[in-house]
Structures are given as structure tokens and as C-alpha cells.
């Protein structure tokens, strides 16, 4: 639990140095930054504008998943679209109903995009910008937002910077119908009745541009500060990587599985590791770089029983699952008894794409305190891996799993 | 006149024999779920927490802690299912069946499953009666082997999630159980059988539907969906059951645009699918899970009482429910379905209607296109006119029931929403950080 908070704290620092926060604080827009590598995909940075808009304090937001701002009237289909965009690591812009701390709902233009590591193409962060949208409350109940562009021809662009396009929009309406003074102040606070709030609100082109340029502002700060740590990031996925052996959607799905496991590719010479979970790295003391591309045999040592190794070899040859108890060694040469379960994993074409090895350090079996037995947890990891591999390789465009 | 169709029944249990071989009664000796084998038997028991209304009103059943930690029920289903894989209980390895997302706007999913219907003779099914009495002599789930049952599933007494790795089967209380489907159409394919020993016919009631909704919410995985087929809409076993499995891609029906029709007093929003080959209703929201659940089950009860076959999909962790009246089997029985479609032998039940097409012939799999899927599903749909008629019936039924439940819940509804919101975010502050809140008590 401590460590989760620590991870959140460290998240930005390690990629962008300590100074990035100050620079981000200078940006006036409403935005949040999340770290998909941390369990639960929490928000690791929140802008002042966002806090002001929602009425929450910083501590109430950091560590939460963005979904806590959703509520009963949030369109579930839109939430699904966001979910798919996150899963597929692509940008998305849509209108979303969120709730303030005091429970009042509001519409916003939600613009989210991934931030990639230049080195290996992994997603380091997601950025989301939230541009509040306003609408006129009409007595009839049929409510819509006038397109801000209507007035842009009349030279009202000047105020855009000051009021934001949402206010400007109301102002433009107000010029037409309500009278400017009233509208300016009530833009965000106007009481939209419960019935009306469900009707989707439309974003103007200006709102969209505003969201996109806010994203760019945040992105350029992150890019800039990533230079100081040498861990360069960028807004476009780069394919320079030698480690990009798995598709990113598979990597994301696997990243959600918290047990210690590795995937090995039987189609590559010497069956190297192509994915190692964080828990595996923690268990063995190696870094990702040190294990990827290598056969698992570095886990064995002097006292590892060769008949057990033979048994593993045979099951792999027979393409069958097996469970063994094997003496393994960490990077620091200390040994541990590993109850190892190995199983073939098929991709969407039904062919064996990988073997998964799920590790369980024997003495720790009962830590974690979950109700499931260690064996059950091991098997549930196998199941989760099978689903991840199968699902991520069935995509219309994806050729490799 | 009686309408029948011939089809190959799906083998869901290893104890499901051809009708002819059926019933060498007595002594049993196969560890089933009937009085002969229950005494002394034990099964894992998962007791779910009844969601408080805040969590539900927030649209966040139980999984504030995010996508990362595998939820407990999720792991239980996965672990138990994989265990049965390794014990060789399934008729085939579903992960060896080819599958793909068909290019197109909706992303229909096709699977080539040549093994599912092997070694079975076509059987006649009556399709013109949505409600039929339970028939003791036909296959039912009390006849499955206990090794096919994964766990018992019930509401927890004290409001906390509990898990008992080995709990006695209390025949008096007729437990609800989750069992494997030995002919899975995807990984984790299971059946939820409410109050199994009560031998309820395939017919939705408020309590059973709420149980199914709890299972969806409890699993907390948007890719673990539950489905229901009524008789006449391709259910083959007349013993109350829901199905569920994992498929980690969005279903086309979930992507379909919707048009809002109305919001009920309990906050349940009802929309119509637009631009989808099958006409249907989408129910979501609701001040509490019960509001949503009762609205759906009342709609289902209305359909079955009016003898209208239908399918239900519980998606998005129980947040969105699709209700689809259909008429394919009737058309089929009346000879109104083209030979070309019949040749594919696709039975358009809830999964097919949702966009997951399980195909039996390699040719159909290879030629699968959005257009073909659309053409088949269009035959399943009611006509616009009939759909509007049916919708009117449903609204009438829900509206009268809605008033009833409103009175019951008046006190809850009087609370201002703002308080709920504040509470919800306060509540979620812990789970968001502490992955372990999903842990549960283990009592031996
Ligand atoms: C950087 C980022 C910020 C987000 N901010 C919000 C937000 O302010 N409001 C919201 O409703 N959802 C927000 N989300 C979306 C949710 O976190 C989540 O992805 C969405 O609800 C769909 O996934 P789920 O099914 O896991 O909830 C954000 C996502 C990301 C990646």
C-alpha cells in the first residue's frame, strides 16, 4: 500500500525529473496525467484548473482512476470508447458527462492521448484534457450547444483566451438571445436540470482546437523534461525498438496480471523470454533488459535437479501443461523453491504462440492472504494469460499476437 | 399447430446423453447434484457483497480499484476453469479454435468451431412456447457431475465478500451454482444456475435476474458478460440458466449507437439500438442496482408472458443490459428462412446477436464478412412495426411495476444526489490505492 503511493509519487520524477511538476503547474488548462504501468492505472498528476473545475483537492484525486468522476448519467457507451482507446493506446476525443465533488454533473470535451517511450515504444503515460462545455438551458427541455464558430466571424475570437471557448460560446448565444452580462457569469454554474443533463452537449470546433492545443502544451513539457532523465518520450509511437516483440495491446493486458510469470516464444531459437512480469523481476532480482531474449535456464544452478528439467522439456515437447517443484536461483545467487507451472498458450489462430511459466516461491505461498489457494491463483494467471494472448491477436489488423 | 425446429442440441455437460441413452436411474455413482449424491458433498462457496446504493449509483460497482488487480471472482472463475481444462473435462480446447475480428465498422467476431456439434443427432425443439413446464425426464443441471461445478454463488449474510474453499451443499436452501459448459464457445464459458435444486424452468424472475446482475458486477470485468436465451430463442435446456464467458474485445452490439426513449422514475435510462441489424432495447443507469434489475426482469417477464422469444445480454459489469426480442426460430419453423442462411447452421442466440458468430463450416468462416453477419442477424430481428408494438407492451409493464417499486424505495430516493457523490469518492479513496480490498475473508 505504501509502495503504491510511493510508485505514484515516483512516477513522474523518474521519467521527467523533479522539476517537471513546476512546469506542468504553469499550464493553465484542466488536465490529468496517468501511469498505466501502476496497478489500477491511477492519476499521477492533476492540474490546478482541473481541481478548480471539479472542486476536489489534489489528495483526493492523485491515485484515483479517472473513472471516479463518472456517475449515474455518464454515457456507458462513451466510457467503453475510452476504455478501448486506452486498451489500443490511441488518442480519443469525445464528450463526456462527469460529476463535481458536490455532485453536480457537467459536460466536458475529453481529449486523451498516450505518451510513448522513444526507446522501446511502450506507453509511459496518458494525458487527458478536460474542456468544460456549456449549454443554454431552454425551457422546452430540448437543449443543445450552439456551435462557437458561428460568431467567430464577428471578431469575438479575442476573448477566447480569457474565457475559454465554453464561456465564449455562451457569450455568443447570449449576444443573440440572453444579454452578455448574465451569461458570462453563469456559464459554468447555470443549473441545468436533471432531465436536461442527459442530452448530449456538443463541442464546438474551437473547443476541439483548445483541447488539442492543451494536449500539445502538456506533451511538449513532458518531452522537454524527459531529455533531462534521458528517458525520451514522444507523442507518436516509435518503432525503433528491438524489444517490441509483443503487440502493445498484449503488453497492456499482460501488465494487468500481477503474478510472477514469463512468456517464452517456442518459434524463436532457444525459446527466449519475450515477456517478464514485474513480479517475476522482483522475485528474481533481474531487470527486464537482463532477461528478455534469454532462455529461462539462467534460473537454474548447481543444485537444480536435472530430472526435473528433463520433465519440463518433455512436457514442452508434448505441448502439455506441467507443474513441478524446482530449485531456482536469483540474480544474487540465493536459491528458492519454485512451484512452477508451465502451459502452452495459443493465439487467435489456434496455434501455440507461447509457453507461459507461472512462478510461486514456496515459502511465500500463503502471503497475500487472498482466499484462493496458491494453486488456484497460479491457474487463474494461466487463464488470464490465455485470454490476453487470444484476444489481442484476433484484431482486424493485427498479424502477430 | 405446433411450431418445431430441428437442431443439434449443445452438449453442456458430460452427463448429457442422447435422449435414448438417458436415464439408467438409481444409485447413480457419478457424484451428481441430486439427493443420491449430495449428502456429505462440498463445493467452494463465494458469497458476494450486496452493493450499497452509493456504489451502484456511481456506476462503479465494486471495482474502484481499477483494471489492474484481477478481481476476486474473476480469478476464481479463471482458476477453476483452467483447473477443469487440465483435468480434461472439456470436449475440445476452445483456444485451439480459430477466431478473428471481421474487418468493418462494427468488428463482428467470427469463430470456427467444428467440434461443438460433433457426435450429436439433431433433435426437435418446440419453438412456439416461451414458457414450458420443467420436465424431470429431460436433461437438467441436477444431473451434471460435481466436478463440473466450479462453486456456489450466493449473497453474503453479513454484507462482506466471503469465500469458503470447501462448503457443504445445503440442499434445503437450494444453492445457486456456477458450472462449466463442456462445449465452450470461449475461454471461461460457464453456466449460472439459480437455485439449482428448485428445478426452475427457463423463465426469468426478479430474484434470479438480480443474481445474474450481481455476478456481472462482482466479476468487475467488462469482458466477462452474461447472456440469457429464452425458449424459442435458442435455449436448448429448459432449466433456468445464464451463460457467461470471457472475450476481451468489445461486442458489436456494445458499439451500436442508441437513441434514448425514456428515463424511468428509478433513474433507469431506456434506449433503442439504432443502426444495428437486430432491433432491441438498452437499459442502463438506475439509482440502485435493484432499480435496473427490476426494470429488466419486469420487461423479460412481460415478454415471456406474452409468448415473445427474447435474448438478454448483460454487459459492462452489469451496467448495460441489452434486451432483444426475436423471431428467427419462428421464421425457421414456418420455412421463411432462406436455405443459404439455414445451411450455415448458425443458431442466432444471445452471443450471435451480440456480434460473436460461432461458425461450424470452414467456408463460412473464411467468407465471414460484416455483410454476411448483418444479413443473418437482420432475419433475427422483429420488423419495425412489431418491435414498436412489443416495446409498447414492455413500457406498459415496466411503468406499472416502476410505480410499485418507487413507493418501496421512496426513502432512498429522497436523498440528494450530491451526498451520494461525495460519499462515493470518499469510499473509493481507499480501494483505489489498496488493491487488496478485493480480498475476502476465508472461513474454513
Ligand atoms: C489520462 C486519463 C485521464 C482520465 N480522466 C478521466 C476523467 O476525468 N473523467 C472520466 O470520466 N474518465 C477519465 N478517464 C477514463 C477512465 O480512467 C477509464 O479509462 C474509463 O472509465 C474506461 O475504463 P474502465 O472501464 O476501466 O472504467 C481518464 C483516463 C485516462 C487515461
Helix (H) or strand (E) holding B152: strand B149-155
- CA of B330 from ligand 1 middle (Å) equals 44
Contact B155, B48 (CB under 8 A): yes
The C-alpha atoms of residue A197 and residue B9 are separated, in whole angstroms, by 48
Compute how many other C-beta atoms are within 10 angstroms of the C-beta atom of residue B93.
15
* Domain count for chain B: 1
Sequence-separated (6 or more) residues with CB below 8 Å from residue A57: A51
Residue B43 has pLDDT above 90, yes or no: yes
B residues 4-63 closer than 8 Å to A (CB): 57-60
Q: What is the pLDDT of residue A245?
A: 64
- Strand runs (DSSP E) across A16-156, as ranges? 31-34, 43-46, 92-99, 105-117, 123-133
The number of angstroms, rounded, from the C-alpha of B93 to the middle of its chain's C-alpha atoms is 22
Contact B281, B322 (CB under 8 A): yes
Residue A365 has pLDDT above 90, yes or no: no
Residues facing B109 on adjacent strands: B101, B356
A237 in contact with B, Cβ within 8 Å: no
Cell of B260: 434514448
> What's the pLDDT tens digit per position in A292-313?
999 999 999 999 999 999 999 9
The C-alpha atoms of residue B280 and residue B290 are separated, in whole angstroms, by 21
Out of A89-98, A247-256, A335-344, B290-299, least confident range = A247-256
Which residues does chain A have within 8 Å of residue B58's beta carbon, measured at their own beta carbons? 70-72
Q: Which residue's entry shows cell 465471414?
A: B368
Residue B104 has pLDDT above 80, yes or no: yes
Which residues does chain B have within 8 Å of residue A5's beta carbon, measured at their own beta carbons? 433
Ligand 1 atom 21: residue of nearest CA: A67
Sequence-separated (6 or more) residues with CB below 8 Å from residue B150: B44, B76, B77, B80, B81, B84, B177, B178, B179, B180, B190
Do strands A233-234 and A105-117 pair parallel, antiparallel, or not at all (unpaired)? antiparallel
Average pLDDT over residues B189-213: 97
Output DSSP code: residue B428: H
Average pLDDT over residues A236-246: 60
Residue B231 has pLDDT above 50, yes or no: yes
Is the distance from the beta carbon of residue A374 to the nearest atom of ligand 1 less than 6 Å?
A: no
Which residues does chain B have within 8 Å of residue A51's beta carbon, measured at their own beta carbons? none
Average pLDDT over residues A337-343: 96
Q: What is the pLDDT of residue A229?
A: 83
Cell of B144: 451434471
Sequence-separated (6 or more) residues with CB below 8 Å from residue B143: B13, B15, B16, B32, B33, B34
- A39/A81: higher pLDDT: A81
Q: What is the pLDDT of residue B430?
A: 35
The mean predicted confidence, pLDDT, of chain B is 84
Local confidence band at A92 (pLDDT 50, 70, 90 cut-offs): very high
Exposed, middle or buried, B124 (CB in 10 Å: 0-12/13-18/19+)?
Answer: exposed
Cell of B202: 427457463
Ligand 1 atom 14: residue of nearest CA: A66
Sequence-separated (6 or more) residues with CB below 8 Å from residue B9: B120, B123, B125, B236
- A7/A323: higher pLDDT: A323
Tell me whether residue B15 is in a domain: no
Q: What is the pLDDT of residue A387?
A: 97
Residue B109 has pLDDT above 50, yes or no: yes
Tell me whether residue B45 is in a domain: yes
- CA of B426 from ligand 1 middle (Å) equals 18
B residues 269-328 closer than 8 Å to A (CB): 269, 284-287, 316, 319-320
Cell of A115: 505518451
What percent of the residues of chain A are helix, what percent strand, and what percent coil, each to the nearest 5? Answer: 40, 20, 40
SS3 assignment, position A94: strand
Give the ipTM. Answer: 0.85
Q: What is the pLDDT of residue A3?
A: 67
CA distances from B268 to A344, B59, B260, B283 (A): 45, 12, 11, 7
Residue B35 has pLDDT above 60, yes or no: yes
**Share above pLDDT 90 across residues of chain A, in percent, rounded to a whole number:** 58
Residue to substitute from A40, A256, A369, interface B, most B β-carbons within 10 A:
A40
> What's the pLDDT tens digit per position in B63-95?
333 333 346 899 999 999 999 999 999 999 999
The C-alpha atoms of residue A135 and residue A256 are separated, in whole angstroms, by 39
The C-alpha atoms of residue A267 and residue A222 are separated, in whole angstroms, by 38
Average pLDDT over residues B152-171: 88
Domain span at residue B396? Answer: 39-435
Residue B231 backbone dihedrals phi, psi, to 5 degrees: -60, 145
Cell of A230: 534521458
**Domain residues of chain A, as ranges?**
4-133+203-234, 248-392
Average pLDDT over residues A357-369: 71
Local confidence band at A164 (pLDDT 50, 70, 90 cut-offs): very low
The C-alpha atoms of residue A210 and residue A195 are separated, in whole angstroms, by 28
Exposed, middle or buried, B86 (CB in 10 Å: 0-12/13-18/19+)?
Answer: middle
CB contact under 8 A, B59 and A4: no
The C-alpha atoms of residue A209 and residue A215 are separated, in whole angstroms, by 10
Sequence-separated (6 or more) residues with CB below 8 Å from residue B190: B77, B81, B150, B178, B179, B180, B181, B243, B244, B245
CB contact under 8 A, A76 and B102: no
Q: What is the pLDDT of residue A10?
A: 86
- A17/B317: higher pLDDT: B317
What percent of the residues of chain B are helix, what percent strand, and what percent coil, each to the nearest 5? Answer: 35, 20, 45
Out of A85-94, A208-217, B51-60, least confident range = B51-60
> What's the pLDDT tens digit per position in B274-305?
999 999 999 999 999 999 999 999 999 999 99
Answer positive or negative: Cα dihedral of B145, B212, B58, A75: positive
Which residues does chain A have within 8 Å of residue B165's beta carbon, measured at their own beta carbons? 371, 373
The C-alpha atoms of residue B333 and residue B409 are separated, in whole angstroms, by 45
* Nearest one of B116, B104, B355, B374 to B249, comparing CA atoms: B355
Angle A76-87/A248-255 helices, nearest 10 degrees?
Answer: 110
A349 in contact with B, Cβ within 8 Å: yes
Out of A225-229, A310-314, B178-182, B310-314, least confident range = A225-229
Residue A163 has pLDDT above 70, yes or no: no
Local confidence band at A234 (pLDDT 50, 70, 90 cut-offs): confident
**Share above pLDDT 70 across residues of chain B, in percent, rounded to a whole number:** 82
Query: Shortest CB distance from B434 goes to which of A1, A84, A371?
Result: A1
Is the distance from the beta carbon of residue A85 to the nearest atom of ligand 1 less than 6 Å?
A: no
Residue A146 has pLDDT above 70, yes or no: no
Q: What is the pLDDT of residue B150?
A: 97
Q: Kindly report the CATH number assigned to the domain that includes residue B128.
A: 3.30.428.70
Compute how many other C-beta atoms are within 10 angstroms of the C-beta atom of residue A175.
15
Output DSSP code: residue B116: T
- A123/B29: higher pLDDT: A123
The C-alpha atoms of residue B62 and residue B60 are separated, in whole angstroms, by 6
**Share above pLDDT 90 across residues of chain B, in percent, rounded to a whole number:** 61
Q: What is the pLDDT of residue A47?
A: 97
A104 in contact with B, Cβ within 8 Å: yes
Contact A211, A158 (CB under 8 A): no
Out of A50-59, A246-255, B75-84, B135-144, least confident range = A246-255
The C-alpha atoms of residue B34 and residue B143 are separated, in whole angstroms, by 7
Contact A391, A247 (CB under 8 A): no
The number of angstroms, rounded, from the C-alpha of B181 to the middle of its chain's C-alpha atoms is 13
Residue to substitute from B55, B62, B71, B82, interface A, most A β-carbons within 10 A:
B82
Tell me whether residue B321 is in a domain: yes
| Prediction pTM value | 0.84
Is the distance from the beta carbon of residue A98 to the nearest atom of ligand 1 less than 6 Å?
A: yes
- CA of A66 from ligand 1 middle (Å) equals 4
The C-alpha atoms of residue A398 and residue B17 are separated, in whole angstroms, by 41
Output DSSP code: residue B248: -
B259 in contact with A, Cβ within 8 Å: no
Tell me whether residue B12 is in a domain: no
**Share above pLDDT 70 across residues of chain A, in percent, rounded to a whole number:** 78
Local confidence band at B399 (pLDDT 50, 70, 90 cut-offs): confident
Residue B24 has pLDDT above 80, yes or no: no
Contact A218, A129 (CB under 8 A): yes
Q: What is the pLDDT of residue A384?
A: 97
A391 in contact with B, Cβ within 8 Å: yes
The C-alpha atoms of residue A287 and residue A281 are separated, in whole angstroms, by 6
Residue B247 has pLDDT above 70, yes or no: yes
Domain A248-392: assigned CATH number: 3.30.450.20
Local confidence band at B157 (pLDDT 50, 70, 90 cut-offs): confident
CB contact under 8 A, B66 and A63: no
Residue from A34, A40, A65, A73 whose mutation best tests the ligand 1 pocket (most atoms within 8 A of CB): A65
> What's the pLDDT tens digit per position in B377-394?
999 999 999 999 999 999
Of B63, B214, B241, B291, the active-site residue reads: B241
Q: What is the pLDDT of residue A165?
A: 36
The C-alpha atoms of residue A370 and residue B62 are separated, in whole angstroms, by 17
The third-level CATH classification (topology) of the domain covering A4-133+203-234 is: Beta-Lactamase (3.30.450)
Query: Shortest CB distance from A348 goes to which of B99, B165, B439?
Result: B99
The C-alpha atoms of residue B45 and residue B112 are separated, in whole angstroms, by 35
B100 in contact with A, Cβ within 8 Å: yes
Average pLDDT over residues A138-145: 37
SS3 assignment, position A70: coil
Contact B304, B204 (CB under 8 A): yes
Which residues does chain B have within 8 Å of residue A56's beta carbon, measured at their own beta carbons? 425
* Nearest one of A389, A386, A397 to A90, comparing CA atoms: A397
The number of angstroms, rounded, from the C-alpha of B239 to the middle of its chain's C-alpha atoms is 14
- B198/A194: higher pLDDT: B198
- B8/A198: higher pLDDT: B8
The C-alpha atoms of residue B394 and residue B385 are separated, in whole angstroms, by 14
The C-alpha atoms of residue A187 and residue A169 are separated, in whole angstroms, by 9
Q: What is the pLDDT of residue A239?
A: 58
* Nearest one of A5, A383, A86, A250 to B70, comparing CA atoms: A383
Compute how many other C-beta atoms are within 10 angstroms of the C-beta atom of residue B166.
10
> What's the pLDDT tens digit per position in B317-360?
999 999 999 998 888 888 888 888 888 888 899 999 999 999 99
- A44/B415: higher pLDDT: A44
- A174/A350: higher pLDDT: A350
Exposed, middle or buried, B9 (CB in 10 Å: 0-12/13-18/19+)?
Answer: middle
Residues facing B120 on adjacent strands: none
CB contact under 8 A, B58 and A72: yes
* Nearest one of A289, A262, A283 to A273, comparing CA atoms: A262
* Catalytic (active site) residue B189: no
Do strands B149-155 and B42-48 pair parallel, antiparallel, or not at all (unpaired)? parallel
Amino acid at each position: 500500500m505504501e509502495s503504491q503511493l510511493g510508485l505514484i509519487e515516483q512516477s513522474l520524477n523518474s521519467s521527467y525529473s523533479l522539476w517537471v511538476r513546476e512546469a506542468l503547474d504553469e499550464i493553465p488548462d484542466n488536465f490529468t496525467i496517468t501511469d498505466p504501468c501502476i496497478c489500477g492505472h491511477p492519476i499521477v498528476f492533476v492540474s490546478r484548473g482541473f481541481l478548480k473545475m471539479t472542486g476536489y483537492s489534489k489528495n483526493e484525486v492523485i491515485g484515483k482512476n479517472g473513472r471516479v468522476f463518472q456517475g449515474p448519467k455518464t454515457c456507458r457507451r462513451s466510457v467503453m470508447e475510452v476504455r478501448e482507446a486506452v486498451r489500443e493506446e490511441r488518442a480519443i476525443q469525445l464528450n463526456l458527462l462527469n460529476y463535481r465533488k458536490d455532485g453536480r454533473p457537467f459536460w466536458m470535451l475529453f481529449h486523451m492521448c498516450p505518451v510513448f517511450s522513444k526507446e522501446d515504444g511502450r506507453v509511459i503515460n496518458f494525458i487527458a484534457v478536460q474542456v468544460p462545455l456549456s449549454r443554454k438551458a431552454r425551457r422546452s427541455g430540448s437543449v443543445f450547444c450552439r456551435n462557437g464558430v458561428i460568431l467567430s466571424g464577428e471578431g469575438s475570437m479575442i476573448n477566447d483566451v480569457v474565457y475559454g471557448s465554453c464561456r465564449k460560446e455562451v457569450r455568443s448565444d447570449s449576444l443573440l438571445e440572453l444579454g452578455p452580462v448574465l451569461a458570462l457569469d453563469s456559464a459554468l454554474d447555470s443549473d441545468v436540470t436533471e432531465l436536461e443533463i442527459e442530452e448530449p452537449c456538443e463541442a464546438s470546433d474551437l473547443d476541439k482546437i483548445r483541447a488539442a492545443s492543451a494536449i500539445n502544451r502538456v506533451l511538449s513539457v513532458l518531452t522537454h523534461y524527459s531529455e533531462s532523465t534521458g528517458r525520451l518520450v514522444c507523442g507518436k509511437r516509435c518503432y525503433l525498438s528491438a524489444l517490441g516483440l509483443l503487440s502493445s495491446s498484449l503488453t497492456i493486458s499482460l501488465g494487468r496480471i500481477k503474478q510472477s510469470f514469463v512468456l517464452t516464444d517456442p518459434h524463436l531459437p532457444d525459446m527466449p523470454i519475450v515477456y517478464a512480469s514485474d513480479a517475476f523481476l522482483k522475485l528474481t532480482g533481474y531487470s527486464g533488459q537482463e532477461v528478455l531474449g534469454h532462455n529461462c535456464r539462467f534460473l537454474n544452478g548447481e543444485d537444480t535437479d536435472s530430472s526435473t528439467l528433463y520433465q519440463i522439456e518433455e512436457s514442452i515437447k508434448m505441448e502439455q501443461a506441467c507443474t513441478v517443484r524446482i530449485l531456482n536461483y536469483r540474480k544474487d545467487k540465493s536459491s528458492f523453491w519454485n512451484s512452477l507451472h508451465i502451459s502452452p498458450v495459443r493465439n487467435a489462430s489456434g496455434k501455440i504462440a507461447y509457453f507461459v511459466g507461472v512462478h510461486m516461491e514456496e515459502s511465500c505461498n500463503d502471503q497475500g492472504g487472498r482466499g484462493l489457494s496458491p494453486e488456484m491463483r497460479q491457474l487463474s494467471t494461466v487463464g488470464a494469460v490465455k485470454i490476453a494472448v487470444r484476444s489481442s491477436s484476433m484484431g482486424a489488423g493485427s498479424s502477430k499476437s | 399447430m405446433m411450431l418445431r425446429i430441428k437442431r443439434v442440441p449443445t452438449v453442456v455437460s458430460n452427463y448429457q446423453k442422447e435422449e435414448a441413452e438417458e436415464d439408467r436411474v438409481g444409485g447413480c455413482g457419478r457424484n451428481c447434484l441430486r439427493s443420491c449424491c449430495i449428502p456429505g458433498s462440498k463445493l467452494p462457496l463465494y458469497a458476494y457483497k450486496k452493493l450499497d446504493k452509493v456504489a451502484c449509483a456511481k456506476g462503479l460497482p465494486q471495482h474502484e480499484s481499477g483494471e489492474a488487480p484481477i478481481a476476486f471472482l474473476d480469478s476464481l472463475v479463471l482458476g477453476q476453469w483452467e483447473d477443469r481444462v487440465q483435468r480434461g473435462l472439456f470436449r475440445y480446447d476452445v483456444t485451439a479454435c480459430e477466431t478473428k475480428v471481421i474487418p468493418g465498422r462494427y468488428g463482428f467476431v467470427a469463430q470456427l468451431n467444428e467440434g461443438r456439434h460433433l457426435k450429436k443427432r439433431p433433435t426437435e425443439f418446440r419453438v412456439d412456447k416461451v414458457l414450458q413446464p420443467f420436465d424431470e425426464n429431460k436433461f437438467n443441471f441436477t444431473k451434471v457431475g460435481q466436478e463440473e461445478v466450479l462453486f456456489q454463488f450466493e449473497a453474503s449474510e453479513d454484507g462482506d465478500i466471503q469465500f469458503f474453499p470447501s462448503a457443504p451443499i445445503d440442499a434445503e436452501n437450494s444453492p445457486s451454482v456456477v458450472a462449466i459448459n463442456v462445449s465452450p464457445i470461449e475461454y471461461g464459458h460457464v453456466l449460472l444456475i439459480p437455485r439449482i435444486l428448485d428445478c426452475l424452468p427457463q423463465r426469468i424472475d426478479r430474484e434470479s435476474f438480480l443474481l445474474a446482475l450481481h455476478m456481472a458486477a462482482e466479476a468487475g470485468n467488462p469482458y466477462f458478460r452474461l447472456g440469457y436465451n429464452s425458449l424459442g430463442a435458442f435455449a436448448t435446456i429448459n432449466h433456468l440458466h445464464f451463460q457467461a464467458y470471457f472475450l476481451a474485445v468489445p461486442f458489436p452490439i456494445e458499439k451500436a449507437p442508441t437513441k434514448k426513449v425514456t428515463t424511468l422514475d428509478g433513474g433507469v435510462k431506456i434506449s433503442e439500438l439504432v443502426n444495428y441489424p437486430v432491433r432491441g432495447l438498452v437499459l442502463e443507469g438506475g439509482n440502485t442496482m435493484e432499480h435496473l434489475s427490476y426494470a429488466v426482469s419486469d420487461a423479460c417477464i412481460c415478454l415471456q408472458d406474452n409468448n415473445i422469444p427474447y435474448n438478454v445480454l448483460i454487459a459492462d459489469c452489469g451496467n448495460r443490459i441489452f434486451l432483444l426480442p426475436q423471431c428467427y426460430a419462428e421464421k425457421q419453423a414456418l420455412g421463411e428462412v432462406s436455405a443459404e442462411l439455414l445451411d450455415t447452421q448458425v443458431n442466432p442466440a444471445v452471443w450471435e446477436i451480440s456480434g460473436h458468430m460461432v461458425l461450424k463450416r470452414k467456408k463460412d468462416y473464411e467468407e465471414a464478412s460484416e455483410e454476411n453477419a448483418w444479413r443473418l442477424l437482420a432475419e433475427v430481428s422483429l420488423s419495425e412495426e412489431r418491435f414498436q408494438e412489443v416495446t409498447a407492451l414492455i413500457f406498459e409493464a415496466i411503468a406499472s411495476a416502476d410505480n410499485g417499486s418507487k413507493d418501496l424505495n421512496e426513502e432512498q430516493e429522497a436523498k440528494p444526489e450530491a451526498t451520494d457523490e461525495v460519499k462515493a469518492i470518499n469510499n473509493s479513496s481507499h480501494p483505489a490505492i489498496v488493491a487488496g480490498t478485493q480480498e475476502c475473508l476465508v472461513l474454513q
